[in-house]
Structure 1
Amino acid sequence: MRLFVAVCPPLEALTHLGAEVARLRIGAAAAAGTNVRLADPPELHLTLAFLGEVETARLVEVESALGLAAEWFRDGRDASPRLSLGGGGRFGQGRSTVLWVDLQGDVESLHALARLIRSRLRHARLPYDDKPYRPHLTVARPGDRVDPADIEADQATLDGYQGPPWPATELLLVRSHLGPGPRYDRLAAWPL
């Protein structure tokens, strides 16, 4: 199973972001039929840890590690972290160009949660990607199908974007299915 751990913004925040993306040049390109690979709002998530392929027999170990991380994170906290989507950026260039929205608010709490998760996964000798954590929400993968100047203009617009605040109330374990239309199955959840 291909697994990752995430926090999902609520529908209100995703709807607000979706309206902003529709006004971008990539939104107009998508409406005109260009395959800019806009992210599907119900599938949008903030990845905290990517485990990759994990044997089905180890799913209980993964759930146990994540349950402990969520429990330790909640201890001593009065409330869930308050976050918002705002600002923007881009990874890659040419065919690998990705546009993303940044995270604002209590981002340090999300970093602390990501460290706890990775610590528990490491302790259980479970696989995970140990790249530095950079919270973001991918909104499109336009690649080289859109003029670079349009992507640059959209990045500048996203950099000025500010979405509504929301509490991160739930940690999710998600299974991803690759393919032309990636699918995500929610396997387990823990309160934050």
Structure 2
Amino acid sequence: MRLFVAVYPPPESVEHLGAQVARLRVGAAAAAGSNVRLADPAHLHVTLAFLGDVEAARLVEVESALGLAAEGFSDGRNALPRYSLGGGGRFGQGRSTVLWVGLRGEVEALHVLAGLVRSRLRQARLPCDARPFRPHLTVARPGDRMDLADIEADRTDLDDYQGPEWPATELLLMRSHLDSRRSRYDRLAAWPL
């Protein structure tokens, strides 16, 4: 099973972002029929840890590690940290260019949560991506199907974007399915934060 751990923004924030993306050059290109691979709004999430392929027999271990991480994050907390989508960036180049929106607000708390998740996974000797945590939501994967100057202009426009505030209320274990069609995600388990 291909697994990852995430938090999802609420539908209102996703809708607000969708309206912003529609006004960007990447949104106009998608509306004109260009395959800039806009992210499916139902799948917009912040990945805290990517496990990759994990044997089904180890699912109980994954769930136990994540339960401990969520419990550790929630201990002694009076209120949930609040976030908003805002700011923009770009990963990759050429065919692998990705446009993303960042998070604002109490982002340090999200770094703490990601650290707890990754630490618990490692303690359980489970696979976990070692790349530094950079909280973001992928907006599009335009690759080289759009001029780089247009992608950079969209990134600049996202720098000025500020979405509505929201709390992350649950930690989610997700399974991704990659095939010739678009990616599909299944929710396997959730823990309150």
Q: TM-score range by the shorter chain?
A: over 0.9
Residue 107 (structure 1) shift = 0.5
Aligned mates of 1:101, 1:69 — CA distance in 2: 26
Report the counterpart of residue 120 of structure 2 in structure 1.
Answer: 120
Report the counterpart of residue 130 of structure 1 in structure 2.
Answer: 130
Residue 146 (structure 1) shift = 0.7
Cα deviation digits, residues 123-172 of structure 1 (max 9, x gap): 11101111111111000000000111111111110111000000100100
Report the counterpart of residue 55 of structure 1 in structure 2.
Answer: 55
Aligned mates of 1:74, 1:149 — CA distance in 2: 43
Aligned mates of 1:152, 1:125 — CA distance in 2: 40
Aligned mates of 1:157, 1:128 — CA distance in 2: 33
Unaligned runs of 5+ in 1: none
State the SS of the aligned residue for 1:9: coil
Q: TM-score, normalised by structure 1?
A: 0.99
Amino acid at match of 2:117: I
Which structure 2 residues correspond to residues 1-192 of structure 1 after superposition, within 5 A? 1-179=1-179, 180-192=181-193
Aligned mates of 1:65, 1:172 — CA distance in 2: 12
Q: TM-score, normalised by structure 2?
A: 0.98
Aligned mates of 2:114, 2:133 — CA distance in 1: 7
State the SS of the aligned residue for 1:184: strand
Stretches of 4+ aligned residues off by more than 6 angstroms: none
Cα deviation digits, residues 78-127 of structure 1 (max 9, x gap): 11110000000101111111000011011000000111111111111101
Give identity over the alignment, percent: 78
CA RMSD of aligned residues (A): 0.6
State the SS of the aligned residue for 1:139: strand
Amino acid at match of 1:6: A
Amino acid at match of 1:137: L
